[in-house]
Amino acid sequence: MAEALDSIYDICLSALREGDRDRYLCALLTPDHARGAVSALYAFNLEIARVRDNITEPMMGEVRLQWWRDLFDGNAHGEAHANPIAAAVMETVERYDLSPVPFRNMIDARQFDLYDDPMPDRNAFEGYAGETASALIQLGANVLSADGALQTANAAGHAGVAQLAAGTLLLLPVHRARGQVYVPADILAACGLDREAFLGGEKRDAINQAISGFVALGREHLAAARANIETIVPECLPAFLPVAVAGQVFDRAEKLGAGLMDQPLQVPQWRRQWRFWRAANRGSI
């Protein structure tokens, strides 16, 4: 049984190595006793986050998300047991007595990814982050220390928004190519932009202002996350490691401004890895 469990957790790590290198590196820095379970959570997140990448129309994505929803509702389809990531995450849910509610909420939130509707406003962005990135951090904290996780909700909430803001900046060219806009519409409007003008990329000064405003939102939550992390137990810190590169992303995004529309913001892997290692050793992000 232990060997079979190790095998499916190894598959999760392999999926992360190929599809989410940052969380893969953070999983390697997670204590041995929790590494497999945390890898399963991250692999599940990867699966539902990349549904848009693997479809040609939204309905196909809806079907795939419903497959995962059925799994957590206890109505798994026959092939679910043959899916190693599904098997790993359900084993993690059972072993650590995790509620299925945050998983269902993550799946529901990812429906937004399937369509090209703009992010309505800052509150909507924070809510989306709360159901996705923040929830993943909180679930990781529960695996690392069930008792300690009782004190991590505020830190996870802010850290998730900061992480999603950084991720949005990193993926901006990809989103633009798809016609997606995750930068909140109220930030765009304050700069004289709407979805079409932002995607068009011609109003460079206004786009510079919008990116600066979005970075400010990310920095605000990163500062709050750092303040709250000072109050959590050390055992839960590994759940926050993926946020450790957010500050560096914000710095580079402000320098590039509208240039982000045309070329991806890249942080060398060795720098990201060093930031994760330093965060793990210093106990801070």
Residue 283 pLDDT: 85
Residues of the chain with pLDDT under 70: 1-6, 77-81
Residue from 42, 39, 41, 64 nearest 51 by CA: 64
> CA separation (Å) from 162 to 117, 149, 171, 276?
22, 19, 14, 16
> Rounded to 5 degrees, what are φ and ψ at 185?
-65, -30
What gap in Å lies between CA 188 and CA 61, rounded to an integer?
28
Distance between CA atoms of 67 and 141, rounded to whole angstroms?
26
Of 217, 109, 106, the residue nearest 169 (C-alpha): 217
Angle between the 135-144 and 153-170 helix axes, to the nearest 10 degrees? Answer: 130
How far apart (Å, rounded) are the C-alpha atoms in residues 252 and 216? 13
- CB atoms under 10 Å from CB of 8, counted, come to 20
Structural domain spans, the chain: 1-114, 116-285
The encoded tokens of residue 140 equal: 């990781």
- In sequence order, what are the residues at sequence separation of 6 or more whose Cβ sits closer than 8 angstroms to the Cβ of residue 141? 148, 149, 152, 156, 232, 236, 239
Structure confidence by residue, pLDDT tens digits, 122-178: 999 999 999 999 999 999 999 999 999 999 999 999 999 999 999 999 999 999 999
Give the per-residue pLDDT at 4: 60
- Using CB atoms within 10 Å of the CB of residue 5, give its burial: 0 to 12 exposed, 13 to 18 middle, 19+ buried: middle
How many whole angstroms separate alpha carbon 132 and alpha carbon 122?
A: 15
CA dihedral 13, 15, 21, 26 (to 10 degrees): -30
User: Which two structure tokens, joined as six digits, stand for 154?
Assistant: 């505020």
Cα 124 to the chain's mean position, in Å? 16
CATH domain 116-285 topology: Farnesyl Diphosphate Synthase (1.10.600)
